[in-house]
Structures are given as C-alpha cells and as structure tokens.
Structure 1
Amino acid sequence: MPSIRIDTSHLTFQQFAISDPPAPPRTAAGSPPCHLPDIPSGATGNPVLIQSSFGTRGNFEVLAPTRGGMAHPFPNNDDPALPWSVPVAIDVKGDTIEAISMIQGNFGPPGHEGPGNFEVIARIGNRLAHFSRDSEPPFTWHGSNFLTVVDALGGQ
C-alpha cells in the first residue's frame, strides 16, 4: 500500500486553555447577532427571507412553513437591539405547506403610498396556493387561493 506524506511545516497551531472564555460572536458591523425566535409549531420546510421596505432601514421578513400553516416573524431593523416579533401564525386549515416563495410587490389598497403587499406562493401537496398580506394595519393575511396549473399540452 502506498504511503502518503503530509508536509506540515507551513501550519501553525495555537493552544487555548479551557478557562479562556470564548469571545462573543459579532456581525460585520460589530453588533451582536440577532437570533430568530422559535417557531411555535415547528418549521416543516425551508423558510424564506426578504428585506421589506417597512421601517426606515427595511425589516427582514421571514416566512416559515409549519404544520397547519405558516409563521411570520420579523425584527424591527430600526431598533438598535434588533428585537424580533412574536411569530404571526397563518392558518391554512390543517394543510402542511411543503415549499414557499415570497416577494413584496407594489399592490396595496387604492391610493396607497406606502410599502406594497407581501405575495406568497405555497406548495401544498401537489397544488399551488396564493396568499397575500395587506401592507397597512392591521396587516391581515389572505388566502389560500388555489391556482389552476395548466400544462403545456392544455390539460389540467
């Protein structure tokens, strides 16, 4: 069997005593990282993250699929402590959402001047559903409106 020789002359090692406390983690800007809140019913798939136009700096908006719905936590990016909201639960009548996608569009109530609605497409089983969230208080979620998908041959 051939032997392999590894040249370690260019490596350096540093020892740390177990009593040395680890340095607290920092973000690139030097502030402590923010931690996502727990999703109460547990995430069942990959979450989606966008930066919205809410607030001065734009909030991070997370949408996570859960058993029976979705959860929507977000931080207040204008607050230096970056506090996260309690996740808003979006009920989908017991269905399990397997995949989601979200954007912030420019739709809103007639004559609105602020940020647009959130638009979401979710895969529930073999169906696609559309959800939206109003861009003005009380920020109501609407859906599920199931889409009819027509294949290239004209069938459904």
Structure 2
Amino acid sequence: MTVTLIAAIAENNALGKDNKMLWHLPDDFKRFKQITSGHYIIMGRKTFDSLPGILPNRTHVIITRQEDYKAEGCIVVNSLDAALAASPQDEEVFIIGGGEIYRQAINIADKLDLTRVHGIAPEADAFFPEIDTSRWKVAGKIFHPKDERHQFEFTFETYIKSY
C-alpha cells in the first residue's frame, strides 16, 4: 500500500477555518479529482461533513470517535489503523484531511501531494504538520500563476519519503 497525504495548504501550513477551505482554486479541485479518482480516500468525520456530498468514483473511509455514526455508501471506522486495514493493501490510498488525521498519518505516509498557496498567511484553526526536510524530498513542482479563475498563485508540490 502506498499512503499519500493530499492537501492544499498556505505557506504557513494553514488548511482551513471553521471546517471550510480558505480559498477557491478550480485547477486544484481538478487535480484532486484526477489524482484521487478510482481510489480510497481516508478522512476525518469533520472533513467528510465539509464535502458537498459523496465524491464520485472514490471509496470514502471516514474516521470518527462517534460509536453510532453512519454515512450511507461509506466505510466508517474509529482509527487510522482501522481505516488503513479497510483499504486495499496493493493500491495507493489518499488521506484527505483534516489536520488531526494528517498529524497521525505523516509518519506512515509514503508521499505528499500538496498545493502550496502563495502570498497569504490566513487565520486558520486547522494546520498541516511541519514537513521534516531530512525525511521528505521534493520530487516535483509545478507553479500556477494567479489568473481570472484563481485569486492566488500556487505550486503543486510532490514529496517522496527518503528512507
């Protein structure tokens, strides 16, 4: 199994505030869909609640402490270990948030697929964990300027764990 953390984060690692994203970047959404389609996506309950609904062509695995939580068409578990055990062992799986789930998963992840949003240090209540550059190496970067559809510049960054 390859475990990939995928997130859009500000330069200060901000993820969101009040269970909402801090920006609207259509090309980031497009990339997220392209990368995660056909795969299992693991998330915390609050992240699931923030989605517009079930994301098509993906199997949703929701981690929650709530014993009686149900989400039709989703796998509901109570730990990251259970989420990984419920996912295919021979495929790439994606962890899509939120901050606490990223913190639990960063040390077991194999890859980070980040959209680094430039030029803002927003007020946030959820953050991506610090990336230890002695353990993670940049495998690729693609810069995207701001334009009529994107209020901010951003860079797609891929990190691979260096063992």
The normalised TM-score by structure 2 is 0.21
- Of structures 1 and 2, the one with the larger relative CO (CA 8 A, separation 6+) is 2
- Structure with more of its chain in helix, by fraction: 2
